[in-house]
Each structure stands twice: as structure tokens, then as C-alpha cells.
Amino acid sequence: MNLDINHYIKLITDLAVAYLPKVAGAIVVWIIGSWIIKRVVKFVGKRFDNSPSIDDTLAPFFTNMINMALKVLLALSVIGILGIETTSFAAIIAAAGLAVGMALQGSLGNFAGGVLLLIFRPFNVGDYIKAQDQEGVVEKIQLFVTVLRSLDNRIIYLPNGPLAGGAMENLTEADIRRVDMTFGIGYNDDIDKARAAFKSVLDSIPEVLKDPAADIIVTELADSSVNFQVRPWVKPEHYWGVYAETHEKVKKKLDSEGISIPFPQQDVYMHQIQS
């Protein structure tokens, strides 16, 4: 019995001698590593907060990702110090990452698109954009979707993957925007008189810019009308107001000037059949 006790004491002593330095080293590495990670994450977070190129939505995500990655590396280092083989752990992490990536392929594509949108900023909140057969004012730019509000107050969610990789039109990024409108007059009406009427209408709308000057040109001799292109320049926020006001005032002005606004018509000839 005494021999057995001595045997176990010796076994425990041998294990303590073999593993206590490793355990102590692992604890020290964990404590020091955790302290360093906190300082690194705090430093990176402050840099993100002070950087105008990093979005407020993106900064916390990047900070958390860096924190998680550093802690995983620290945990693998501690496991290695304890003498445990880390190759299998690395293989498990890689396999898990691959499985998650395959399962969330579409979501990860949208996430990557969101990151690109937040970094390169092809549009900002408040801009009016057209993309993916949708258009509206940008309400939010999130990591996975961009939220638009249409002119008729519909909320539209656009996935960021196709949005970042496809064609997109930002209608408010430029300082000014041209309003393209087509008006037709009859073939018997005076072209110069009609041009003066269009110019008078544009001059009466204060939101129409004087510089650059508006274009008022004949662009087509159509089947039933002589078509003018009337193209004033406005601030982006005045686009729809000027568009609607111009149409209303042009109708009233042409009526008062006795200039016709023709509609599509056809001439029908009746042939009498001789019996």
C-alpha cells in the first residue's frame, strides 16, 4: 500500500514537473496576449473613428473581426505551448470556414458588395439613384442591403452584391442636371414663334439656371408634328418640379399664342367601287 502511494506521488510529481511550466507559460501568454489584443483593438478602433473614409457602419465590424482573429491566433498559440498538436484544430477551423462560406455564398457576396459600397461611396444617403430596374432616394446603406425610398413612398431593398457589381446611375451626384423634354407643334405653325414661347416659359421659372443656357432646338419632323427638344439646366433637387411646371406652362403658353399641339392622326381615303 505504501509502495502504491509512493508510486502515485512520483507520478504526480513527474507530471507536475513536465506540465506545470507549460501551463504556467500558457497562462502568462494568455494574460499578456489578451492585454496586447485589447490595446491593439482599441488603437485600431480609434483610427477607424477618426478616418473619414471608414463608414460608421463598417468600423465596428472591422474592429470585431480583428478582435476575433487575434483571439483565435492567441488560443492556437496557447494550445501549442501546452504541447497539443494544433494542425488538427487549424484543419477543423478551415473546414468549418469553407462549409459556412458555401452555405452563405449569396449573403457573403452581398456583404462584400456592402463593404465596397461603404468604402468607395458611389452614392451617399440622400442621393437619388437608379439601379436594378429600381430608383429612389437612398435611405440607408447597410452591410447586406441598400434601402431606397421611391417617389411614391415605397421602401425598396436592393442586395448589395448585384448593386456593387452592376450598372448604377447616381442622379444627384453632379451639381446640375439637364431636364430633357419634347414638345410638338403643327406643321402650319411658326417655328420661331414657338421657340420664343418655349424661351418665355423657361424664363418665368426661377429654378431654371441661366448658365448654362437651355437648348431649344428642332430635333424631328415627325408624322404629325414638328418636335422640339427643350433642355433647361437645374439643380438636382429641382428636377421634377421644373419638369412638371414646364409642361403645364408650355400648354397654357401655346394655347394663348394660338400654336397647335397636334396629336397622331391618319388620313383615310374611301374608294368607290364601280359596279
Instruction: Assess if CATH 1.10.3470 describes domain 2-103.
Output: no
Q: Residue 57: its pLDDT value, please? A: 59
Residue 14, SS3 per DSSP:
helix
Q: How far apart are CA 23 and CA 83, in angstroms?
A: 10
Q: What is the pLDDT of residues 169-222, one digit of tens each?
A: 888 888 899 999 999 999 999 999 999 999 999 999 999 999 999 999 999 998
Mean pLDDT for the stretch of residues 220-249: 93
Cα(69)–Cα(51) distance, rounded to whole angstroms?
22
**Mean pLDDT for the stretch of residues 19-38:** 80
Q: Which architecture characterizes domain 122-170 according to CATH?
A: Roll (2.30)
Least confident of 46-50, 99-103, 114-118, 178-182: 99-103
Averaged pLDDT score across all residues of the chain:
82
| 147 vs 123: CA distance, rounded Å | 12
**Could you report the per-residue pLDDT of 120-171, keeping only the tens digit for each?**
888 888 889 998 889 999 988 887 889 999 988 999 999 988 888 888 888 8
Domain ranges across the chain: 2-103, 122-170, 177-257
Alpha-helix runs per DSSP H in 82-209: 87-103, 105-120, 160-165, 191-203
- Among 51, 61, 44, which Cα is nearest to 114's? 61
Q: Fold for 177-257, please state it.
A: Alpha-Beta Plaits (3.30.70)
Check if 2-103 and 122-170 are the same fold: no
